[in-house]
Chain A
């Protein structure tokens, strides 16, 4: 995962940008497709170094499977989060008990940490305040536990298990 070749990164960037182009133009007319291939290649050449850390390796069937699983876990958590907030906001007593907790992650790559932080932000009652090295600082609307072990179990375990399989 550390030594991904430039070629693989370039092709990955090219493919993603080309898919974005297709989505934006919403047509398969031959001149649009050719223009898209050229334009996305130019942009990919300029930006592939910063665009991705994983390269084409991410398209392996096993990883695609886990990405799909992650997507559904994430959408489920997002919807649950919204009903959770709605419930709190609409109840007259405003049942909150806020605090900032911390835990340590096993993830190593920066990109995976960012994905984890963003996912935590969008799940019920929690959002990421800061990441220092591999420690996450999480603002929690209803603090149920303060020791790291149970905080980790409660907030991050579900996401991290899948992310470890994708990015490590």
Chain B
């Protein structure tokens, strides 16, 4: 049983490391801030979650603590990326786009309000 858990732990840790690597690679390859954030958020969330789950499986007495950490990551990671995106837009970081930017009007409206 313990060996099974240990190898399952190795599996999850390697998977997490692979996703974190892909996330870093994505940040390197993407063309602008928002698309980089896309790559960063998703892979860092699942990467960190599976890495910590792997550690929890290797050390069964930590398992429940790692579960709590995973829940905290799942809640806090998207919020931080949301705050980054909103902050970037408020400081006039225009997204690279060929199709549509629906948020532009709202941001302009807010700017005008601030000036008044």
Contacts and interface: CB of A to CB of B under 8 A. Distances in A.
Contacts of A125: 38
Interface residues of B, number: 48
Interface in B66-90: 67-68, 74-75, 77-79, 81-82, 85-86, 89
Interface string B25-64: 1100111101101110111011100000000000001111
A: contact size bracket? 35 or more
A134 B79 CA distance: 18
Contacts of B62: 26
Interface in A74-115: 78-79, 81-82, 85-86, 88-90, 94, 96-102
Interface stretch (A34-42, A138-146, A157-165): A138-146
B19 interface: yes
Given A100-B102, A130-B86, A137-B103, A82 B95 contact: no
For the complex, would chain B's binding face be called helix, strand, loop or mixed by DSSP majority? helix
B78 A118 contact: yes
A94 B65 CA distance: 39
B101 interface: yes
Contacts of B35: 96, 98, 141
B99 interface: yes
Contacts of B116: none
A20 B61 CA distance: 15
A94 B31 CA distance: 9
Contact of A127 (B63, B81, B99, B101): B81
B67 A23 contact: yes
The 6 closest A-B pairs by CB, nearest first: A121-B78, A23-B64, A102-B102, A99-B99, A89-B26, A118-B78
